[in-house]
């Protein structure tokens, strides 16, 4: 059973965060805004970590 939100696993969200931060820095986005984006991604990552598998995933993994 894997924890995911719309197909995103928590470890993948970490990589996405770094890609987003790089793009924001390249486009001269203020540090305050970058900080807000990082906090939001961290919140989504927490939600993904705490999410329980959906009903169909549970049924597939049962013998």
pLDDT tens figures, 5-53: 555 677 888 889 999 999 999 999 999 999 999 999 999 888 877 776 6
Residues spanned by the domain of 57: 10-61
Asked if the structure places residue 26 within a domain, the reply is yes
Contact 21, 37 (CB under 8 A): yes
- Residue at 28 is within a domain: yes
- Asked if residue 4 belongs to a domain, the reply is no
Collect all residues with Cβ–Cβ distance below 8 Å to 14 and sequence separation of at least 6. Answer: 45
- Residue 53 belongs to a domain: yes
* Residue 8 DSSP one-character state: B
* pLDDT over 80 at 58, yes or no: no
Domain annotation covers residue 2? no
What is the count of structural domains for the chain?
1
In this prediction the pTM is 0.66
Residue 3 maps to a domain: no
Predicted pLDDT of residue 1? 46
Residue 5 in any domain: the answer is: no
DSSP secondary structure code for residue 52 in this structure: P
CB count within 10 Å of CB 42 equals 13
């Amino acid at each position: 059973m894997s924890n995911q939100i719309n197909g995103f696993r928590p470890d993948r969200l970490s990589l996405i965060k770094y890609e987003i931060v790089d793009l924001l820095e390249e486009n001269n986005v203020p540090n305050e805004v970058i900080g807000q984006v990082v906090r939001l991604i961290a919140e989504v990552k927490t939600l993904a970590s705490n999410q329980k598998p959906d009903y169909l995933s549970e049924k597939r993994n049962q013998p």
